[in-house]
Amino acid sequence: MHIKVLGTGCAKCHSLLKNVKEAVADMKVDAVVEEVNDMKQIMHYPILMTPGLVIDEKLVSSGSVPNKDTLKTLINSALQGQKEG
């Protein structure tokens, strides 16, 4: 699993990155968590506001900082999609 936090380094972006890392650790998921700050890379996704959250190249959140429980739900959904696909 590859998770990207898209943002310009703002406080919300840092909060999202922290929450993602904690959720992944809590769930013991094998995931690479990457922070993407380059606007050219960020613009490859259909994002209007940062921070953005991309799981396995699918944008799942933008413009907000989901809490850890919401992040766990998003990660679980992505894991289920991997099993089905």
Q: Which of 2, 8, 9, 10 is catalytic?
A: 10
Q: Active-site residue 13, yes or no?
A: yes
Q: How many domains does the chain have?
A: 1
Q: Active-site residue 50, yes or no?
A: no
Question: Which CATH number fits the domain that encloses residue 35?
Answer: 3.40.30.10
**Any domain includes 77:** no
**Any domain includes 35:** yes
d(CA 37, CA 26): 25
**Any domain includes 67:** no
pTM: 0.93
pLDDT grade for 15, boundaries at 50, 70 and 90: very high
pLDDT, position 83: 77
- Host domain of residue 7: 2-62
Q: Which of 3, 5, 6, 13 is catalytic?
A: 13
pLDDT in tens, 33-76: 999 999 999 999 999 899 999 999 999 999 999 999 999 999 99
- Is-contact 57 6, C-beta < 8 A? no
